[in-house]
A and B are shown apart, each in its own frame.
Chain A
Amino acid sequence: MTTMLLLPVLVPAVAGAHALLAVRARRAAAVLLVAGALASAAAVALAVAGADGGVVAVQGAFDVALELDPLARTFLVGLAAAGVIAAAGIARAIAAGRVAAAAAAALLLALGALQGAILAADAETLLLCWGGALAPVAALLACGGAGAARPALATLTRWAAADLALMTGFGLLAHAGGHGELARLHPGVSPIATVSFALVLAGAATRLGAHPLHGWMSDAAERAPAPAAFVIAAGKLASAYLLLRLQPAFAGPAAPALMAVLGVLSLGPGVLFAVAQASRPRRPAHLAAATSGAVLLALAWGPPALASALAVAFALAAALFSWSSPTAVIAPSLPSRAGLASALRRAERSLEPGLLARGAVDAAAVGGLAIDRLVNALYDRVATGLGRTASGLLRRAHTGRHSTYLAWSLFGVAAVVLYLVGGF
């Protein structure tokens, strides 16, 4: 039954809504989280068993369409498993008071949205579900502990910016192809296809945590280790799935080349940066970036089955880190490494696209403010020159003792005008 496809989206969403009621009760939230994740896994099992390959259409602001193909099945099961593992780890952290109880609701809502993204049959559904995970993911990370809100906001900002890139890429594809159905996207070999793939890759690689778009991952893992483990795992699965899903559509050599470049950039430096870390929670995040590089290389050069297997295996491993959060919190520092390690840490910071982009954003902002100031200066010139009398009159009227009555009389004039209009 195709309606079974709705279960992996609805069950965690409903469970998340119930968990919202327990934001002040830690133990209840922990229990609800584990129960919700298990129910979600059961919903995925039912969907996998019951789906008959058809498309489910749901009417909304625009039509939402879901379908389950063999590729989606693998990733859906992987995500549900990662959800259960991470939910258990985070529930433990909630019960121990290291993570806020609201994390239970956030995780379940994020899980529902990401499962929807894997089931999406068209670009609009994908963007809706993909973006629908943003707020829950940010909330989940913000629940991670003291000082976690800023990395959570940074993650939200970067993921949302990545989504805009993704949206632009899909927009270009839809513009070129005249539709947004994922199964029928065949842009062929053209400059617009390359640009759109680069944008889609940028969007996916941010969630995948590939270098140099990985900055959110290490910062989030440092402040909110347990929730970050789930976010890293789920981001990896959803992004790898998206790239695999779109891979057949991009026939030219540009797509594998771009993925290979990002893969190499992530794999080597990821391992090096992980070794160089002085912060224990940052290390798994850098290892996750390295594994993302391996997934990208498999996507570029290997068979799809290898990329799928790597993505699922690495995601499950990343989810397991949610259990290691006590160590990360109790002993956050590793023995400090000087020399090369320190240089590597500095290099990692300089790779941060936020820093690289800051100059461009600042320049743009200065430009915008300059135009605004110019318009204001022009207004001042006009107002002080031509409009001095009018301004003076207005000001006197405004500050006068009987200004209220002046306003009344203006209203009276308007009423007279309205009356005259009646006989116009």
Chain B
Amino acid sequence: MAAHLDPTTSMTNLPLLLATSVTVPLAGALLLPLAGRISGALRSALALVFVLTALGCAVALLPAVLGGSTATVSVHGVALLHADRLAVFMALVSTLLGAVIVVYSFGYLSGLPNRDEYDLMVVLFLGAMMALVFARHLLVLYAAWELTAVACWRLIGFFRKDGCVLRADKAFLITALGAVLMLLGFIGVYVGQGTFDLGRLQGVRLPTWAAALILAGLFSKSATLPLHSWLPDAGVAPSPVTALLHAAVLVKIGVYVYARLFGATFVADPMVGEIVPWIAATSALVAGMAALLEHDLKRIIAYSTVSQIGFIFLGLAVGTPEATQGALLFVLMHAIAKGGLFLCAGIIEHGTHTKDIRKMGGLARAMPVTAGCFALCACSVMGLPPFGGYFSKHLVISGALAAGRLPVALVFLAGSGLTLLYLARVFDKVFLGPPGVAVQGRAVHEGTRLMVGCVAVLAALALGSGLFSRYPSAVAGAVARDLSRRPATLAEAGRVGP
């Protein structure tokens, strides 16, 4: 591999950091089953080390990219990976949540079979995610996209029961179908422009049909209506998997690629910016309504994810700096809070052996820390100040209003109302009132210290990211300014394609 320094890069170690952040988890994942044959503890420790390495690289890249530097890794003269503000921001979010979830898995999955493959797939997934966010080449992006689908497929079907396998297949089929459509869109771009290099495609006008194909792929991955149905079904996976894939990282892939392609690279038909908010609004409303009647705890949280992803799409599609900043902040805040909710659901499921909220009740006494953490994370998802979710939601909606999108902003406010109702209902049914049938006569207690500790960290982050929102907000603002400026600047420079 011949890594070279981008002309805009001022620090020589940036390409090395970039390459390390992708290759260590990807290559390291392959070692984990071998390590597992020696010792389970060694395998787990290595998995954490690989994820922390990626996180460390992302953290190390952050000051440089915020200062305006970028880094590129090329192989045989083809630029494959590129680190800019948007990519590093997403890499930070993914690996931060990934590290917490890997630690949580130590407690949650202890004693279960298939741990070797679990660790392999989790680390492989995070490596693929890193490759995806840093992809400079559309085919690298596609390959990483498919790799995440494979890892996701294996992880959803982790328990290997018929129901789990069917649902894993469903997730794989829907997202793979979407990926094929997206690939067709990429090929369309290649036919028109003769390159897959995103750097050379900047400012190029995207044909509407190619945009539609790419959007179909994005919507399938980000579980947006009508391609959302795999996400609630994927709740059969172990809770760390649902947290990692379906709240924190996987569904954000679609959002990230939307920001990368439609925000930072191509100039799309303005119709895209008109239609996407309405698709997102419909998705947010329908999923919010469905969550009101659902009884399966993890399905409710999954519907909530479908609903909340709509807010991110709204912010990105509106495209003003304020709305984009809100959308990017939402990515972080939602990942933290929703990851926390899923991990709380894991502790509850672990303790009660059910996901049916009608059989729960009164768990606040048996699981006070989990109840408190659930409440804090739920407050953030609801968008209550001073939790992190408030700032992101406020910025998205006020950005939409400032852009003159009053009707769609009102729909999203209604969606916020639904979020409030279904999360309050879940808290009431699970933690308050008399003990349910799944709790009676059973010594229900908190999860292991490691599990509860991970949840507490995320709950503290949900609150802390709001109290100190200035810092993540500044990073999101810098990324948003990049996104709002880039295509317009290039278009003005006369680089707009046919």
What separation, in Å, do the CA atoms of A138 and B206 have in the docked complex? 50
12 A-B contacts (beta carbon < 8 Å): A61-B473, A131-B390, A149-B431, A153-B428, A153-B432, A156-B424, A157-B421, A391-B169, A403-B117, A404-B117, A411-B124, A417-B143
> Which chain B positions have C-beta within 8 A of A371?
225, 286, 289-290
Q: Is B355 an interface residue (CB 8 A)?
A: no
> Which chain A positions have C-beta within 8 A of B394?
61-62, 124, 127
Min C-beta distance of A124 to chain B, whole Å: 7
Q: Is A423 an interface residue (CB 8 A)?
A: yes
Please provide the chain A residues from 22 to 36 with a CB less than 8 Å away from any CB of chain B in the complex: none
Q: Is B154 an interface residue (CB 8 A)?
A: yes
Min C-beta distance of A119 to chain B, whole Å: 15
> Which chain A positions have C-beta within 8 A of B287?
368, 372
A395 — nearest CB in chain B belongs to which residue? Answer: B165
Q: Are B169 and A127 in contact (CB under 8 A)?
A: no
What separation, in Å, do the CA atoms of A414 and B127 have in the docked complex? 13
Q: Is A168 an interface residue (CB 8 A)?
A: yes
What separation, in Å, do the CA atoms of A61 and B33 have in the docked complex? 44
Q: Are B401 and A390 in contact (CB under 8 A)?
A: no
Q: Residues 156-176 of chain B: 1 if any A CB is under 8 Å from the residue's CB, otherwise 0?
A: 010010000110111011100
Q: Which 9 A-B pairs have the closest CB atoms?
A: A368-B289, A365-B292, A61-B469, A61-B391, A131-B385, A368-B290, A61-B473, A422-B75, A365-B293
Q: Are A135 and B424 in contact (CB under 8 A)?
A: no
Q: Is A128 an interface residue (CB 8 A)?
A: yes
What separation, in Å, do the CA atoms of A132 and B379 have in the docked complex? 11
What separation, in Å, do the CA atoms of A414 and B170 have in the docked complex? 21
What separation, in Å, do the CA atoms of A378 and B288 have in the docked complex? 20
Q: Residues 382-424 of chain B: 1 if any A CB is under 8 Å from the residue's CB, otherwise 0?
A: 1011110011001101100100101001100100111011001
Q: Residues 124-152 of chain A: 1 if any B CB is under 8 Å from the residue's CB, otherwise 0?
A: 10011101101100000000000001100
Q: What would 20 more interface pairs be, CB under 8 Å, given A164-B416, A372-B232, A394-B153?
A: A61-B391, A61-B395, A61-B473, A129-B385, A150-B428, A153-B424, A157-B421, A157-B424, A164-B417, A168-B410, A364-B292, A365-B293, A372-B229, A372-B303, A378-B226, A379-B229, A398-B160, A404-B120, A414-B150, A421-B137
Q: Is A381 an interface residue (CB 8 A)?
A: no
Min C-beta distance of A151 to chain B, whole Å: 10
Interface residues on A, range: 35 or more
Q: Residues 380-412 of chain A: 1 if any B CB is under 8 Å from the residue's CB, otherwise 0?
A: 000100010011001100110001100110110
Q: Is A336 an interface residue (CB 8 A)?
A: no
Q: Are A61 and B329 in contact (CB under 8 A)?
A: yes
Q: Are A135 and B379 in contact (CB under 8 A)?
A: yes
> Which chain A positions have C-beta within 8 A of B404?
175
B413 — nearest CB in chain A belongs to which residue? Answer: A168
> Which chain B positions have C-beta within 8 A of A61?
329, 391, 394-395, 469-470, 473
Q: Residues 263-306 of chain B: 1 if any A CB is under 8 Å from the residue's CB, otherwise 0?
A: 00000000000000000000001111111111000000001000
B400 — nearest CB in chain A belongs to which residue? Answer: A171
A131 — nearest CB in chain B belongs to which residue? Answer: B385
B470 — nearest CB in chain A belongs to which residue? Answer: A60
Q: Is B357 an interface residue (CB 8 A)?
A: no
What separation, in Å, do the CA atoms of A398 and B417 have in the docked complex? 40
Q: Are B382 and A62 in contact (CB under 8 A)?
A: no
Q: Are B174 and A175 in contact (CB under 8 A)?
A: no
Q: Is A369 an interface residue (CB 8 A)?
A: yes
> Which chain A positions have C-beta within 8 A of B255?
none
Q: Is A261 an interface residue (CB 8 A)?
A: no
B174 — nearest CB in chain A belongs to which residue? Answer: A379
Min C-beta distance of B459 to chain A, whole Å: 12
Please provide the chain B residues from 167 to 204 with a CB less than 8 Å away from any CB of chain A in the complex: 168-170, 172-174, 196
| A407-B117, A421-B78, A422-B80 as given contacts; A175 in contact with B292, CB under 8 Å | no
> Which chain B positions have C-beta within 8 A of A423?
76, 78
> Which chain B positions have C-beta within 8 A of A404?
33, 116-117, 120
Q: Are B154 and A160 in contact (CB under 8 A)?
A: no
What separation, in Å, do the CA atoms of A343 and B154 have in the docked complex? 61
Q: Is B446 an interface residue (CB 8 A)?
A: no
Q: Are A164 and B225 in contact (CB under 8 A)?
A: no
A368 — nearest CB in chain B belongs to which residue? Answer: B289
Q: Is A198 an interface residue (CB 8 A)?
A: no
> Which chain B positions have C-beta within 8 A of A366?
289, 293
> Which chain A positions have C-beta within 8 A of B76?
422-423
Q: Is A338 an interface residue (CB 8 A)?
A: no
| A135-B384, A391-B169 as given contacts; A372 in contact with B469, CB under 8 Å | no
Q: Are A175 and B413 in contact (CB under 8 A)?
A: no
| A60-B473, A421-B78, A424-B139 as given contacts; A367 in contact with B401, CB under 8 Å | no
> Which chain A positions have C-beta within 8 A of B401?
171, 174-175
Please provide the chain B residues from 116 to 142 with a CB less than 8 Å away from any CB of chain A in the complex: 116-117, 120-121, 124, 137, 139-140
Min C-beta distance of A187 to chain B, whole Å: 14
Looking at the complex, which one of B228, B303, B386, B409 makes contact with A128 (CB distance below 8 Å)? B386
Q: Is A7 an interface residue (CB 8 A)?
A: no
Q: Are B382 and A160 in contact (CB under 8 A)?
A: yes
Looking at the complex, which one of A150, A171, A383, A395 makes contact with B432 (CB distance below 8 Å)? A150
Q: Are B226 and A375 in contact (CB under 8 A)?
A: yes
Q: Is A161 an interface residue (CB 8 A)?
A: yes
Q: Is A111 an interface residue (CB 8 A)?
A: no
Q: Are A421 and B160 in contact (CB under 8 A)?
A: no
What separation, in Å, do the CA atoms of A134 and B385 have in the docked complex? 8
Q: Are A398 and B386 in contact (CB under 8 A)?
A: no
> Which chain A positions have C-beta within 8 A of B470?
59-61
What separation, in Å, do the CA atoms of A59 and B391 have in the docked complex? 13
| A60-B470, A153-B427, A422-B78 as given contacts; A394 in contact with B413, CB under 8 Å | no
Q: Are B398 and A171 in contact (CB under 8 A)?
A: yes
Q: Residues 342-362 of chain B: 1 if any A CB is under 8 Å from the residue's CB, otherwise 0?
A: 000000000000000000000
What separation, in Å, do the CA atoms of A127 and B391 have in the docked complex? 11
Q: Is A183 an interface residue (CB 8 A)?
A: no
With most chain A CB atoms within 10 A of its CB, the pick from B137, B169, B382, B410 is: B169
Min C-beta distance of A236 to chain B, whole Å: 21
> Which chain A positions have C-beta within 8 A of B416?
164
> Which chain A positions have C-beta within 8 A of B229?
372, 375-376, 379
Q: Are A164 and B294 in contact (CB under 8 A)?
A: no
Q: Are A364 and B289 in contact (CB under 8 A)?
A: yes
A59 — nearest CB in chain B belongs to which residue? Answer: B470
> Which chain B positions have C-beta within 8 A of A168?
410, 413
> Which chain B positions have C-beta within 8 A of A379?
170, 174, 229
